[in-house]
Structure 1
Amino acid sequence: MIQAPPSGPPPAAVRRRRRILTGPLFSWAALLGVLAGAGIGYGIQASRAADPVPPLIGDSPEIRYAAPDVRPFVLPAEQDDKVRRDGDLRELLLPVPDGGIEYSAYHGGDNWLSLPEYLASVKNNISAMSQLFGDNWRRTAARSWVQPNRVLVNVTLHQFGDGAPSAGRWIESDLAYDQRSGASPGQDPAIPGTGSGRLTVFPRDTAPGNSAPYSARAAAWRGDIYMAVWFYAPSPIDEAQALETARQQAARL
């Protein structure tokens, strides 16, 4: 006799078997759905016509080459600033003017100024040495002479290895020195032919025994060279004459 199924929830063993079988079925169904979707999408893309790829760059200009007998233009050495400045720096020094007497005690007679020689001529030599090394100092050329009116002129050309930034910073240092010395930076006349070059006239030095209490300094820079022209005199400095000397020296750089 066929028995009726028992009423109530199935036994625990039956429920456990159902969970074991149901989990994999759902997983396989999900996987088949993903694969079917990918296959349909690939089929749609494959049936479409290929779109043309846009060009990477536009039309390039035509390349033209010079004729074999055409030589490139090259500046003559006297007009090429880099060639002139990389040569003998002493050739850029202003020559001793007519009537002047060269004063070689400052630079030893060869117109080169070594680092110890230069530091011996400045007051705060420790700070100057630190600044020179920090700015990649390369070399210094110098020339001095005494003019008929007893004015001592001292020209120095400092050349730096990293070019204009270092040479230009020395102008900023000049302004700071001028302020400490009681001069009026920015009020003194500019050197003709230069962008930032100026002539600074300092107050009279009242120290006893000073045979040249009046002084002035013309400073400018061009390229990798910082130029300083100092004037020392027993009487007030002739500004017009000092400016002309500085202009002539700046024009040689």
Structure 2
Amino acid sequence: MNDEEIIPDQGEAPPDAAPKAPDAAPEALAATRPRRRVLRTAGLIAVATVIGLVGGTAVGYGVQAQREPTALPPLNQPDLAHPKPLPKGQRAKPLPASEDLRAKAQGDLRKLLLPKPAGAKKAEYADADGWMDVSRFASAFDRPSRALDHQLDLGIRRVAVTSWAAGEHREVEIRLVQYRASDVHGAADFVEDQQGYMPDEDFAESEGRELKGSSNGRYYVFPVKRKAGYLDMYEARAYFYRGDVAVEIFVVDTEKVSQNDIRSLAERQLGRL
């Protein structure tokens, strides 16, 4: 053997051996260090937080379960104010039938119509018995079949009518249009429909005037209608309702119909209801 130092052959490094650190400055080495330890620390903190929340909730439930249940407040609290029934002598008395519109309207509706004034004559086309057939009532509209369907939808029940002639050419007609009590809006809807087109050109061309003593009534005086070869035509109307009864009043004449004429008729008919 030679006296030379023999260095054994180390061969290739095993595949799982750590890589040899390169020759570099300390700062560069620090930058290339793995962050595995930092990530592991953050994960441990997150797990600890979750465990703390779960543990705290469990402890809270355990403490609450060992406590005595808290009683609910009584339902009949003595401090609450309740309306007390009035003494027997102070209770409201039911209206007599003469003042109860619902009771009066269930009877002969014609009795609620204004009576014919003294000296007035029966109108030429007056209904003989004071009742107007519902189909004839609807025939006065531009589209009778559609108007009839609409009235049936509103719950129309019956129509009482009176009419008379006064002076040389004046005619007055009053209709009480009653709707079924189950259709509480029937009378209101009908009156509001009629009032809705009164401002149109072919009608009163105005909003009319409020009827005193009624929250929904109005009366209208139409502009005069003139046509060659015919007498001038004057017209006035009133619409209002009480309960399930809608009221229509028509006045036509060849002489002027004043606001006082239609207002007086409407107020007196309102008083009958």
Same-fold status (TM-score > 0.5): yes
User: Match for 2:140 among 107, 121, 124?
Assistant: 121
Please say if 1:233 is aligned against 2:268: no
**2:195 maps to what in 1?**
175
Consecutive unaligned residues of structure 2, counting only runs of 5 or more, are 1-57
Q: 1:181 and 1:126, CA in 2 relative to 1: closer, same or farther beyond 3 A?
A: farther
- Corresponding residue for 1:98? 118
Contact 2:135/2:148 (<8 A) preserved: no
C-alpha distance 155-56 of structure 1, shift in aligned 2 (>3 A) = same
SS state of the match for residue 170, structure 1? helix
Match of 1:242 in 2: 262
Q: Are the aligned partners of 1:217 and 1:228 in contact in 2 as well (CA < 8 Å)?
A: yes
Q: Does 1:143 align with 2:162?
A: yes
Root mean square deviation, CA, Å: 3.3
Partners of 2:97 and 2:249 lie apart in 1 by 26
Q: Is the 8 A contact 2:113 2:162 kept in 1?
A: yes
CA-to-aligned-CA distance 1:107-158 (integer Å, 9 cap, x gap) = 2x11111112212333332342132112111111100001134310000011
> Which AA in structure 2 matches 1:215?
E
- CA distance 1:65–1:157, shift in 2 (3 Å): closer
Q: CA deviation at 1:208?
A: 6.2
User: Which one of the candidate residues 86, 93, 107 is aligned to 1:73?
Assistant: 93
Q: Give CA-to-partner distance per residue, 1:8-59, whole Å, 9 cap, x none.
A: xxxxxxxxxxxxxxxxxxxxxxxxxxxxx99x959x956x556444313313
Give the 3-state SS of the residue equivalent to 1:142 in structure 2: strand
Query: In the aligned structure 1, how far is the partner of 2:252 from the partner of 2:129?
Result: 22
1:184 aligns with 2:205: yes
Q: TM-score, normalised by structure 1?
A: 0.70
The partner residue of 1:204 within 212, 218, 224 is 224
Pair 1:219-2:239 in alignment? yes
Which structure has the bigger radius of gyration? Answer: 2
Q: Which residue of 2 aligns with 1:10?
A: none
Matched AA of 1:132:
Q
| Distance of aligned partners of 1:58 and 1:217 in 2 relative to their CA distance in 1, 3 Å threshold | same
In 2, Cα distance between equivalents of 1:250 and 1:70: 30
- Work out the CA distance in 2 between the residues paired with 1:224 and 1:141: 13
Aligned-pair CA distance for 1:201: 1.9
Equivalent-residue separation in structure 2 for 1:106 and 1:210 (angstroms) = 24
**How many pairs does the alignment contain?**
211
Cα displacement (A) at 1:83 = 0.8
Deviation at 1:182, TM superposition (A): 4.5
Whether 1:82 and 2:123 are equivalent positions in the alignment is no
Q: 2 CA distance for matches of 1:180 and 1:130?
A: 26
Aligned-partner Cα distance in 2 for 1:64–1:163: 32
Cα distance, 1:124–1:62 mapped onto 2, change above 3 Å: closer
> How far apart are 1:252 and its partner, in Å?
1.1
Q: Distance in 2 between matches of 1:212 and 1:156?
A: 25
- What is the SS of the residue equivalent to 1:54? coil
**Cα distance in 1 between the residues matched to 2:235 and 2:187:** 23
Alignment check: 8 A CA contact 2:220 2:259 kept: no
TM-score normalised to the size of structure 2? 0.65
- Determine helix, strand or coil for the equivalent of 2:125: coil
2:152 maps to which of 105, 127, 133: 133
What residue is the counterpart of 1:152 in the other structure?
171
